[in-house]
Structure 1
Amino acid sequence: MGGGRKQAKRKNILPHIAFLVGLGTTAQADLITANDYVAADPLQAQLGQLLFYDKVLSGNKNIACATCHHHDLAGTDGLSLGIGEGGMGLGTKRTAGMGQDAIRKRVPRNAPALWNLGHKDVRVVFHDGRLTPSDLFGNGFNSPAEEWLPQGLDNIVAAQSLFPLTAQFEMAGNLGENDVTHATQIRIDRAWPLIADRVSEIEKYVFLFKTAFDDVETAGDIDITHIGNALGAFITTEWRSFDTPYDAFLRDGTPLPAQAEAGRALFFGKANCSSCHSGALLSDQSFHALALPAFGPGRTRKFDPIPRDVGRMGETNVLEDAYRFRTPMLRNVALTGPYGHNGAYPTLEGMIRHHLNPAAALQGWTKDLAQLPNVPEKVQQIDFVIQSDRREMARQASKIDITPIDLSDAEVDQLVAFMHALTDKNHDMRPMGKPLAVPSGIPVD
């Protein structure tokens, strides 16, 4: 009888053993739960939702944070390189604007997804990692604003939200057009009080800030830190994703579809994707060179003579960091193309195939793959001019951190299926969504 009980016991644990074996290199430590996100005040998040969609934060009051990170587009804009301040419309239908208001330059990099930025483990943001937690400047962050970034920002997302407001081609506007962009040219922190003053002149915003923040009693108490913290509270609560088929697999062993399961085994095994896309966030939050096709205006430094993007080196000034970019997180990745720091590939399959053999993929890439809406001719002329610089192209092509690997077409399809298993089942049902109107009265896109 005793032996029978032991035999039954063994039989009962077999499914659990099979589940643990099936995890491969993944583990329960890779689970994400609601407790893994930074705390956010609900009233501040509701205020942040309105600010996120309100164009009053932009220099010319014609673009909002949501323009490039819209709910209808899974928190992105669907473009390789965005059309920022001066443009009209959303996503692939966005135009370059008209007359003197038309854009003068595309946004140099692809609009990054917002999913899971509020996770407590996030320690680097932007494609080049130019914002990280740090005590270097006494305000909690190492950022482009250095010591002029204000103290009192709640988290890295609150800090990040302030920089598009002062970026000329994203939200600030061109020189001579408004006081915000003029102040930015003097020093970045000169612009933020002007934006805060705009908000504090709107009676409904004053009421909402007084309600959400204990230290705001009058309109004059509202400063850019409150705005950043409200935006951060909204972003960190609104764009959470931890209810995907993959999460169900990690949480309780719910089987993935056969194709996705085969892709998961490849991802954590033969394809070696998890060497960079690791941990709970499916990102090592480090920087790697993939030799992606170069195009667009580039994120140039003051002394760059050509429209190039040197990636991480632009932040560190360390030569070995050249052309390296941050590993993106992958939940909801199937919803947030185009892919790469400049949106070089419109499909997951294309991006995966580039990883398999970057040098060959670079040679085979064609310009029609870039999602670039029509812009004025003088802007469009810059789109591919960098590709005529043979020396720069040779430098970028020589910097590859990935070892080529052979996968069959069927295996590529399996990896794509696994990427789709990272899509949250409630991705289109966010807690707050898009507001119908904002306190400034400016129409909401």
Structure 2
Amino acid sequence: MSDADFHPADPLQAALGQLLFYDKILSGNRNISCGTCHHHDFHGGDGLSLGIGEGGVGLGPKRTAGTGEDRIRKRIPRNAPALWNLGHRSVDILFHDGRLSVSDDFENGFNSPAEEWLPGGLDHILAAQALFPLTAQFEMAGNPKENEVAGAVHDRIDAAWPIIAKRVRVIPEYGGKFVEAFDHIDAPEQVTIVEIANALGAFMNAEWRSFDSPYDAFLTGVPLADDAEAGRRLFFGKAGCADCHRGPLFTDQGFHALALPAFGPGRTRRFDPMPRDVGRMGESDALEDAYRFRTPSLRNVALTAPYGHNGAYPDLVGIVRHHLQPLYMRAAWARETAALPIVEWLEEIDFVIQSDAREMARQEAKVDIAPRDLSDRDVAELVAFLHSLTGATARARPLGRPETVPSGLPVD
């Protein structure tokens, strides 16, 4: 793998995107940024099973749920996905349920929740992805009637983006940087949400590339450590990991049901009678897709705990064992395993789904991986191999977190 395998990223646009990524000006109530849940300190994640979004305070496992009228109303239903190598040209589908994909269905390059209202001119799928947290109520937009962004989203998803774009372009420092970074922008008033998304996409594309791991060295002839080499043979052999985790990014970009322990508010649809998450079926409406979630890349996986679409496991040993014995591990899983900061007013919801016997039976009946009998030593060797996928420079990113942003708002 090399830089040629990625979409190009203009350095000026990436530097601008770095500031936008950490600037709370993009959120409805100006109190959360992209970087809050995808922070450099946590290697592009937040260290939580289910995130605390708009209204929360602090970072990572120490983030609290806020107080008074500003407190959160709901946990983020799914684990914050890692950003590593999402600018790779092979990536054509994103989000745990795949609700954003490269497609000409709506003549704008993508099949997305915005359908025909997604603007044209987005550079690639990573730029398109950047638009959706901005319009999500519990992630960045805020609650209806709290701010003009949330109110506009309630009207129609694309009504919010011009409001956000105007917020940004009227800040003189941002206006000048857009003129400098984009050849077709001659004056700040020309800046739209498309340029903002493309700058964010350029930053994420350039910032989170990683392909200098011991495994990459192995591909050039440098041997792995003995335990990692044993784990590699298991991974591509009898452990069956490579059935789904294959290719340069270690993902088939497909969807699979693993029967992970269920908890949290669920990513519910309007007609769901319970706080469940049906995964890919929520996007496809195909019954065969029930409880299937997108295969994550394993690049730098040792840095991005917790694991699973809902962050059910805090370490690699747990998630590896679950893959080997999914129903046994599901039954043995304990609630305290989840990294969920205490939110007293949501505690009744956190695990209520587990009391629904019929829903639990449906989830347990849909498992796409067969049990495999491996020893404790095998598990340790698989984990050693997963550690060999950590880039040598993964902890030292090119741009990192800015100290300040042009809006003057505090940087998490």
For normalisation by structure 2, the TM-score amounts to 0.99
User: Where does residue 360 of structure 1 map in the other structure?
Assistant: 328
Task: Give the secondary structure class of the aligned counterpart of 1:381.
Answer: helix
User: Where does residue 149 of structure 1 map in the other structure?
Assistant: 118
* 1:84 aligned residue (43, 53, 77): 53
User: Where does residue 428 of structure 1 map in the other structure?
Assistant: 395
Matched, 1:419 2:394: no
Instruction: Provide the alpha-carbon RMSD of the alignment.
Output: 0.6
Matched, 1:332 2:300: yes
User: How far apart in 1 are the matches of 2:348 and 2:142?
Assistant: 21
Moved more, 44-53 or 379-388: 379-388
Matched, 1:342 2:285: no
User: How far apart in 2 are the matches of 1:349 and 1:152?
Assistant: 43
* 1:262 aligned residue (193, 214, 230): 230
User: How far apart in 1 are the matches of 2:34 and 2:377?
Assistant: 39
Matched, 1:220 2:189: yes
Q: Once the 2 structures are TM-superposed, how far is the Cα of residue 442 of structure 1 from its aligned partner?
A: 0.4
Q: Which runs of 4+ in 1 moved over 3 A?
A: none
Q: Deviations over 1:192-251 (max 9, x none)?
A: 00000100110100000010112222222110000000000000000001000000001x
User: How far apart in 2 are the matches of 1:381 and 1:254?
Assistant: 52
User: Where does residue 6 of structure 2 map in the other structure?
Assistant: 37
User: How far apart in 1 are the matches of 2:29 and 2:346?
Assistant: 20
User: Where does residue 68 of structure 1 map in the other structure?
Assistant: 37
User: Where does residue 109 of structure 1 map in the other structure?
Assistant: 78
Task: Give the secondary structure class of the aligned counterpart of 1:109.
Answer: coil
User: Where does residue 239 of structure 1 map in the other structure?
Assistant: 208
Structure 1 residue runs without a partner (length 5+): 1-31
User: How far apart in 1 are the matches of 2:74 and 2:347?
Assistant: 9
User: How far apart in 1 are the matches of 2:404 and 2:218?
Assistant: 40
User: Where does residue 348 of structure 2 map in the other structure?
Assistant: 381
User: How far apart in 2 are the matches of 1:208 and 1:263?
Assistant: 48
Q: Deviations over 1:337-358 (max 9, x none)?
A: 1000000000100000000111
Q: Deviations over 1:24-54 (max 9, x none)?
A: xxxxxxxx11111100111100000000000
Matched, 1:401 2:368: yes
Q: Once the 2 structures are TM-superposed, how far is the Cα of residue 307 of structure 1 from its aligned partner?
A: 0.5
User: Where does residue 127 of structure 1 map in the other structure?
Assistant: 96
* 2:284 aligned residue (293, 300, 316): 316
User: How far apart in 2 are the matches of 1:222 and 1:303?
Assistant: 39
User: How far apart in 1 are the matches of 2:19 and 2:195?
Assistant: 13
User: Which amino acid is the alignment partner of residue 48 of structure 1?
Assistant: G
Q: Deviations over 1:72-115 (max 9, x none)?
A: 10000000000000001000000001111010100000000000
Structure 2 residue runs without a partner (length 5+): none
Q: Once the 2 structures are TM-superposed, how far is the Cα of residue 380 of structure 1 from its aligned partner?
A: 2.1
Q: Deviations over 1:52-75 (max 9, x none)?
A: 000000000000000000001000
User: Where does residue 145 of structure 2 map in the other structure?
Assistant: 176
User: Which amino acid is the alignment partner of residue 348 of structure 2?
Assistant: Q
User: How far apart in 1 are the matches of 2:345 and 2:354?
Assistant: 17
User: Where does residue 290 of structure 1 map in the other structure?
Assistant: 258
Task: Give the secondary structure class of the aligned counterpart of 1:132.
Answer: strand
User: How far apart in 2 are the matches of 1:292 and 1:74?
Assistant: 23
User: How far apart in 2 are the matches of 1:305 and 1:57?
Assistant: 33
Q: Once the 2 structures are TM-superposed, how far is the Cα of residue 303 of structure 1 from its aligned partner?
A: 1.0
User: Where does residue 47 of structure 1 map in the other structure?
Assistant: 16
User: How far apart in 1 are the matches of 2:160 and 2:290?
Assistant: 31
User: Which amino acid is the alignment partner of residue 41 of structure 1?
Assistant: D
User: How far apart in 2 are the matches of 1:145 and 1:359?
Assistant: 37
Kindly, what percent of the aligned residue pairs are identical?
Answer: 67
User: How far apart in 1 are the matches of 2:97 and 2:294?
Assistant: 6
Q: How many residues of Structure 1 are paired with residues of Structure 2 in the alignment?
A: 412
For normalisation by structure 1, the TM-score amounts to 0.92
User: Which amino acid is the alignment partner of residue 251 of structure 2?
Assistant: S
User: Where does residue 440 of structure 1 map in the other structure?
Assistant: 407
User: How far apart in 2 are the matches of 1:103 and 1:353?
Assistant: 33
User: Which amino acid is the alignment partner of residue 313 of structure 1?
Assistant: M
User: How far apart in 2 are the matches of 1:112 and 1:77?
Assistant: 9
User: How far apart in 1 are the matches of 2:31 and 2:366?
Assistant: 39
User: How far apart in 1 are the matches of 2:271 and 2:109?
Assistant: 29
Q: Once the 2 structures are TM-superposed, how far is the Cα of residue 281 of structure 1 from its aligned partner?
A: 1.0
User: Where does residue 359 of structure 2 map in the other structure?
Assistant: 392
Matched, 1:203 2:172: yes
User: How far apart in 1 are the matches of 2:276 and 2:117?
Assistant: 28
User: Which amino acid is the alignment partner of residue 324 of structure 2?
Assistant: L
User: How far apart in 2 are the matches of 1:384 and 1:406?
Assistant: 30
Q: Deviations over 1:273-299 (max 9, x none)?
A: 000001111000000000000000000
* 2:267 aligned residue (293, 299, 308): 299
User: Where does residue 185 of structure 1 map in the other structure?
Assistant: 154
User: Which amino acid is the alignment partner of residue 384 of structure 1?
Assistant: F
Q: Once the 2 structures are TM-superposed, how far is the Cα of residue 143 of structure 1 from its aligned partner?
A: 0.3
User: How far apart in 2 are the matches of 1:280 and 1:347?
Assistant: 23
User: How far apart in 2 are the matches of 1:378 and 1:304?
Assistant: 21
Task: Give the secondary structure class of the aligned counterpart of 2:94.
Answer: coil
User: Where does residue 27 of structure 1 map in the other structure?
Assistant: none
User: Where does residue 13 of structure 1 map in the other structure?
Assistant: none
Q: Once the 2 structures are TM-superposed, how far is the Cα of residue 378 of structure 1 from its aligned partner?
A: 2.5
